[in-house]
């Protein structure tokens, strides 16, 4: 897919998604207005929207209409935002900036930020549990809930974050850093691909497994590139404090193998992702372009 066609498709999905997410967070309870505002502040404050884009790209590649993809796209982004809010808290990474703005606990306060993350996680599963528009199989929401829950539990995002916190100041070897990255970041990106597949009726078999491999590899490539940008990018460019990983003595790819080798390993993961797509035909051209974006991005 050429760059112009890719950018037009992505822009269309982003526009749709921002509208859908805004509607999903139009919570009417006046008694919890501050909590709602904190949720909206964090979720609607920009971002790459990679995970929702992967839902839309995968689902559309296999024939799912956009209205069947809105709920899983919304759910996975809410989960992502909840993880960022909690990750930024003083008990975790104690960050002041996220997406170029004060973090949720700086803009509001720590208790509100904690509750905003909790509420986003709960709301994500509530959104995902609704019967999908036009879907004949009532088991689809349950399958999506299972995939998402597995991706954010001890074997996925939460487990990866636990390893990350326990490894500060430790000289992890490269396989251990890879394991941490595949859990902390890669698992939710892989789940985004699988949510789109399930919405399109691809729930098992060779195509599902190929998409799982693709998602896992671009998830790893994304986090390696994130490590690289923490070294090479500026605070203004990446929207968060640059160099924070080195200050905290966190194990990253550049700290373990150097920048040149980190770039090579990100490209290797990208190539494995494309190899996984090779058996799926031309319908996955947008997924291929998203893989290119992951390793070329500058923020």
Residue 282 reports pLDDT greater than 80: no
Residue 236 reports pLDDT greater than 90: no
Per-residue pLDDT band at 135 (split at 50, 70, 90):
low
> Using CA atoms, how far apart are residues 117 and 152, in angstroms rounded to an integer?
13
The whole-number pLDDT of residue 128 equals 94
The whole-number pLDDT of residue 247 equals 78
3-state secondary structure of 101: strand
Residue 146 reports pLDDT greater than 80: yes
Exposed / middle / buried, residue 189 (Cβ in 10 Å: 0-12, 13-18, 19+) = buried
Given a contact cutoff of 8 angstroms between Cβ atoms, the answer to whether 250 and 198 are in contact is no
Given a contact cutoff of 8 angstroms between Cβ atoms, the answer to whether 240 and 206 are in contact is no
Kindly report, residue by residue over 34-64, the tens digit of the pLDDT.
999 999 999 998 889 999 999 999 999 999 9
* The total number of residues written for the chain in this structure: 299
> Whose CA is closest to 299, among 100, 43, 161, 102?
100
Exposure string for 10-30, b = 16+ CB within 10 A, e = fewer: beebbebbeebbeebbeeeee
Exposed / middle / buried, residue 201 (Cβ in 10 Å: 0-12, 13-18, 19+) = middle
Question: Tokens 């549990």 map to which residue?
Answer: 129
Per-residue pLDDT band at 133 (split at 50, 70, 90):
low
> Whose CA is closest to 213, among 195, 190, 192, 197?
190
The whole-number pLDDT of residue 245 equals 77
Given a contact cutoff of 8 angstroms between Cβ atoms, the answer to whether 107 and 246 are in contact is no
Given a contact cutoff of 8 angstroms between Cβ atoms, the answer to whether 197 and 64 are in contact is no
pTM of the predicted structure, to 2 decimals = 0.94
Dmax (CA) of the chain: 53
The whole-number pLDDT of residue 161 equals 94
> Using CA atoms, how far apart are residues 121 and 118, in angstroms rounded to an integer?
5
Domains of the chain: 3-296 (1.10.600.10)
Kindly report, residue by residue over 193-230, the tens digit of the pLDDT.
999 999 999 999 999 999 999 999 999 999 999 999 98
Kindly report, residue by residue over 52-111, the tens digit of the pLDDT.
999 999 999 999 999 999 999 999 999 999 999 999 999 998 999 998 899 999 999 999
Sign of the Cα pseudo-torsion (236, 96, 243, 48, in order): negative
> Using CA atoms, how far apart are residues 230 and 253, in angstroms rounded to an integer?
11
């Amino acid at each position: 897919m050429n760059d112009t066609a890719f950018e037009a498709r992505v822009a269309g999905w982003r526009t749709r998604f921002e509208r859908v997410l805004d509607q999903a967070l139009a919570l009417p309870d006046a008694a919890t207005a501050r909590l709602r505002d904190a949720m909206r502040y964090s979720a609607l404050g920009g971002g790459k929207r990679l995970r929702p884009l992967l839902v839309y790209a995968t689902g559309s590649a296999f024939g799912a209409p956009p209205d069947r993809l809105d709920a899983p796209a919304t759910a996975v982004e809410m989960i992502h935002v909840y993880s960022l809010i909690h990750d930024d808290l003083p008990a975790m990474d104690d960050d002041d900036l996220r997406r170029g703005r004060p973090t949720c606990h700086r803009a509001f306060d720590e208790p509100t930020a904690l509750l905003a993350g909790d509420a986003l996680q709960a709301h994500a599963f509530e959104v995902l549990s609704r019967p999908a528009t036009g879907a004949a199989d009532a088991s689809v929401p349950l399958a999506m809930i299972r995939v998402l829950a597995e991706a954010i539990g001890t074997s996925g995002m939460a487990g990866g974050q636990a390893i990350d916190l326990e490894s500060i100041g430790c000289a992890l070897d490269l396989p251990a850093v890879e394991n941490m990255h595949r859990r902390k970041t890669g698992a939710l990106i892989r789940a985004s691909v699988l949510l789109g597949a399930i919405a399109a009726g691809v729930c098992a078999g060779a195509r599902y497994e190929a998409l799982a491999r693709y998602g896992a590899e671009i998830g790893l490539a994304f986090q390696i590139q994130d490590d690289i940008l923490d070294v090479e990018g500026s605070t203004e460019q990446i929207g968060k404090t640059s160099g924070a990983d080195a200050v905290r003595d966190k194990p990253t790819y550049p700290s373990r193998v150097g920048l040149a080798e980190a770039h090579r390993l990100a490209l290797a993961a990208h190539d494995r992702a494309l190899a996984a797509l090779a058996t799926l035909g031309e319908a996955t051209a947008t997924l291929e372009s998203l893989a290119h974006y992951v390793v070329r991005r500058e923020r």
